[in-house]
Amino acid sequence: MSDEKAEVSMSRAEYDLLKAKAEGTPPPAGDGSRYDSRGYRTIDGMEEADINGDGHIDNAELNMHLEFKRKELEDADAMRDAQRRMAWFALGGMLLYPAAVVAASFAGLDQAQGTLGDMAPTYFVAVAGIVAAFFGAQAFVKGK
């Protein structure tokens, strides 16, 4: 007998078939068609990354998929920042509006005070409606 070690080489598809036979389970569906020529299997749930539709994700497709996901996260972060700024701006406007009415009163601008006072109900309802519609739409989209 020689001291040489025997080397066995097989693809991942061949290994899975051999393993299934040894365990007495059915072979993988598609008789190994989800494996590429190197024996690598496409990851389930990553079908959207397979741009050319060949059933396998190469490095270029994976890099594009990761870049798309990174941009998606950045966009979601920017949207949350914009929502936060809009909420603070609307809150600031709602708090400063009564201060403008009081300032007009102290300045002796009776006509300005009257105009601002008459506009107040419309202003508050409009700002609240804009904020509610924006956040309601975002919550609806997120809930889908």
pLDDT digits (tens, 9 = 90+) for 27-37: 665 544 556 56
In a domain, 63, yes or no: no
In a domain, 88, yes or no: yes
In a domain, 90, yes or no: yes
In a domain, 57, yes or no: no
Residues sharing a CB contact under 8 Å with residue 7, sequence separation 6 or more, in sequence order: none
In a domain, 95, yes or no: yes
d(CA 97, CA 93): 6
In a domain, 13, yes or no: no
Contact yes or no for 49/61 (Cβ under 8 A):
yes
Predicted local confidence at residue 101, as pLDDT = 84
Segment holding 66, helix H or strand E = helix 59-106
Which two structure tokens, joined as six digits, stand for 83? 């929502």
Q: Which domain holds residue 122?
A: 69-143
pTM here is 0.52
Task: Say how many domains are in the chain.
Answer: 1
Q: Which residues of the chain have pLDDT under 50?
A: 1, 31-32
In a domain, 74, yes or no: yes
